[in-house]
């Protein structure tokens, strides 16, 4: 070290207070100050111009830096995210809150993350909510199915019974049918004549073309619906027994049946006549209309519309006649079908159901 004198003492004093001198050098400085009392003040002032650490100042977030603590510099973000996602238990939540109070860094981060939390917008409302409401159809569906099952069962029973009865009737009259048809064919001309000759109510009834029979049918049918259905049906069956042929090939047997009850022979002839001769005889037709009127009055048949409706059917029956000759069962089926289809289905079904029961 250089020699201390009055020119360089300041630098030496600073070095002294900065503790950059050896003990001997320090001693030399102290001796110099004693020798020069006028420099004593400057020496002490430089010494006081030093800073000492403020022990009161402490790093509050010291724990935040420790990995051992529950929330620290390495995990605070994850913890805060879990906090705002509400995935922490109450104790952990409190800890976060305490930490946020103490640590501005945590506080700032937390408030920022809380801002990212979305709020549902109440003004957003689903517009078609009324379309989403539903009502159970299950119960009604069940009812329908039961109803349908009941109807189906009833229909099956009805057809089954009728077929059985018809089959029984056929057993009695199958052979006769062929014979009678032949007879009826041979007697067709006779029937025409006879129908015209007898006069009275029966002759027009028998002679009339298909129209009559049809109308008679309508009359009978309406009777069925209106008055006694059983009675109407029973005669049919009896007639079948007597004249299975007629019953078979003519779907509208009922008409003939009552007539047949009155005069079975004539009815046979009329049936054949209906199919084959009906259109040929205009006189018969005229007589038929008259007879129809009478029949209508007798059976309370009202609308003439029925007549027009039923006229085509007998034409079909002609084809049915051939079909009958081939297979009687098929004809029975047709017969049953006609019963269900030609007129209002429901009424016929109901009528049969009642008769069977």
Partner 1 sequence: MTEREYNECVTTYADNVYRFILKNLRNEEDARDVVQTSFEKMWVHRDEVDATKSKSYLFTVAYRQMIDHIRKVKRVQLKEEFNEGIKIQNKPANNLKKILDEALARLSETQRTLVLLKDYEGYSYEEIGRITSLSESQVKVYLHRARVQLKEYLVKVENVI
Q: Which of 245, 247, 254, 251 is nearest to 218 (CA)?
A: 254
Nearer to partner 1 (CB atom), residue 78 or residue 286: 78
| Single residue of 77, 183, 298, 333 touching partner 1 by CB under 8 A | 77
Q: Which stretch binds partner 1 (CB under 8 A): 74-82, 230-238, 239-247, 299-307?
A: 74-82
Q: Are 32 and 6 in contact (CB under 8 A)?
A: no
Size of the site for partner 1 (CB under 8 A): 29
| Single residue of 133, 200, 326, 357 touching partner 1 by CB under 8 A | 133
Distance CA 335, CA 340 (A): 9
| Single residue of 50, 56, 134, 326 touching partner 1 by CB under 8 A | 134
Q: Which stretch binds partner 1 (CB under 8 A): 68-76, 108-116, 179-187, 330-338?
A: 108-116
Q: What is the distance between the terminal CA atoms of the chain, rounded to a whole angstrom?
A: 142
Nearer to partner 1 (CB atom), residue 1 or residue 142: 142
| Single residue of 81, 155, 163, 349 touching partner 1 by CB under 8 A | 81
Q: Which stretch binds partner 1 (CB under 8 A): 6-14, 125-133, 234-242, 312-320?
A: 125-133
| Single residue of 87, 175, 300, 315 touching partner 1 by CB under 8 A | 87
Distance CA 279, CA 195 (A): 14
Q: Where are the alpha helices (DSSP H) in 227-327?
A: 229-242, 244-249, 253-262, 264-272, 282-299, 305-310, 312-326
Residues 116, 119, 120, 121: is their CA dihedral positive or negative? negative
Distance CA 245, CA 178 (A): 7
| Single residue of 7, 56, 117, 326 touching partner 1 by CB under 8 A | 117
Nearer to partner 1 (CB atom), residue 77 or residue 97: 77
Q: Which stretch binds partner 1 (CB under 8 A): 78-86, 95-103, 142-150, 323-331?
A: 78-86
Q: Residue 344 interacts with partner 1 (CB under 8 A)?
A: no
Tell the burial category of 21 from Cβ atoms under 10 Å away from its Cβ (0-12, 13-18, 19+): middle
CB atoms within 10 A of CB 227: 12
Chain residues that interact with partner 1, rule: CB under 8 A: 77-78, 81-82, 84-87, 112-113, 115-121, 124-129, 131-136
């Amino acid at each position: 070290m250089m020699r201390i004198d009055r020119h360089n003492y300041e630098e030496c004093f600073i070095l002294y207070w900065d503790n950059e001198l050896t003990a001997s050098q320090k001693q030399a400085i102290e001796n110099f100050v004693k020798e020069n009392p006028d420099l004593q003040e400057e020496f002490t002032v430089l010494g006081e111009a030093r800073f000492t650490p403020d022990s009161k100042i402490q790093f509050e977030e010291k724990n935040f830096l420790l990995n051992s603590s529950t929330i620290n510099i390495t995990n605070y973000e994850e913890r805060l995210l879990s906090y705002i996602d509400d995935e922490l238990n109450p104790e952990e939540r409190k800890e976060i809150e305490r930490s946020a109070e103490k640590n501005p860094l945590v506080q700032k981060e937390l408030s920022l993350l809380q801002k990212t939390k979305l709020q549902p917008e109440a003004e957003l409302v689903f517009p078609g909510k009324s379309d989403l409401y539903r009502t159970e159809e299950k119960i009604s569906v069940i009812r329908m199915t039961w109803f349908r099952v009941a109807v189906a069962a009833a229909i099956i029973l009805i057809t089954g019974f009728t077929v059985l009865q018809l089959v029984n009737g056929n057993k009695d009259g199958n052979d006769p049918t062929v014979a009678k048809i032949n007879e009826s064919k041979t007697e067709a001309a006779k029937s025409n004549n006879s129908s015209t000759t007898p006069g009275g109510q029966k002759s027009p009834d028998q002679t009339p073309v298909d129209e009559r029979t049809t109308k008679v049918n309508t009359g009978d049918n309406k009777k069925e619906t209106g008055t006694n259905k059983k009675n109407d049906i029973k005669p049919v069956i009896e007639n079948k027994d007597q004249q299975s042929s007629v019953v078979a090939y003519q779907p509208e047997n009922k008409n003939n049946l009552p007539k047949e009850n009155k005069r079975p022979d004539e009815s046979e002839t009329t049936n054949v006549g209906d199919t084959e001769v009906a259109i040929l005889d205009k006189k018969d037709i005229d007589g038929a209309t008259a007879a129809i009127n009478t029949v209508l009055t007798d059976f309370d048949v009202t609308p003439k519309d029925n007549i027009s409706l039923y006229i085509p059917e007998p034409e079909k029956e002609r084809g049915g006649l051939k079909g009958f000759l081939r297979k009687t069962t098929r004809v029975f089926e047709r017969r049953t079908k006609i019963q269900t289809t030609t007129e209002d289905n429901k009424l016929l079904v109901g009528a049969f159901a009642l008769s069977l029961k």
